[in-house]
């Protein structure tokens, strides 16, 4: 049996991998949704698997339906793609995405355009207090 510290590290890594895969799938679904709605022209992904700044910004915004400010988008791009982007490069791209109707800016926060119309309700985590106390295993056993 693994020590709790090792278990948590492995579980965190597994969850991060799952999140990355889900973000990619969500990005594909959002692109299909926009294409069906006639909102944007669907283009082939950039060559050799490298994502453009536009693609990265849309992906991180798709993964954050409540939206992000510009600094949050930059941090998410760095976290998700390992790429440092200058704000001076991001701001014009966000403006173009806004002009194209891909994103909207509301209260200083950028969102995917259709996400601003149909934002998902926030679901509270019933285990948050228990998880904060560090006794995750017992909480899970109690639930089962």
Q: What is the DSSP string of 48-116?
A: GGPPPHHHHHHHHHHT-TT-B-HHHHHHHHHHHH-----HHHHHHHHHHHHHTTSEEEETTEEEEHHHH
The reported pTM is 0.50
pLDDT tens readout for residues 83-121: 899 999 999 999 999 998 999 999 999 999 874 444 444
Average pLDDT of 1-8? 83
Structural domain boundaries of the chain?
Answer: 4-118
CATH code for the part of the protein at 4-118: 1.10.10.10
């Amino acid at each position: 049996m693994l020590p709790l510290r090792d278990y948590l590290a492995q579980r965190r890594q597994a969850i991060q991998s799952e999140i990355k895969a889900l973000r990619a799938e969500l990005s594909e679904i959002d692109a299909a949704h926009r294409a069906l709605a006639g909102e944007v022209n669907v283009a082939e992904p950039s060559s050799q698997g490298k994502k453009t700044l536009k693609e990265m910004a849309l992906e991180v915004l798709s993964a954050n339906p409540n939206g992000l400010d510009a600094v949050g988008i930059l941090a998410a791009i760095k976290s998700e793609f390992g790429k440092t982007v200058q704000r001076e490069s991001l701001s014009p791209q966000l403006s173009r995405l806004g002009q194209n109707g891909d994103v909207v800016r509301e209260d200083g926060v950028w969102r995917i355009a259709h996400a601003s119309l149909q934002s998902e309700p926030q679901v509270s985590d019933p285990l948050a207090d228990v998880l904060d106390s560090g006794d995750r295993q017992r909480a899970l056993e109690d639930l089962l």
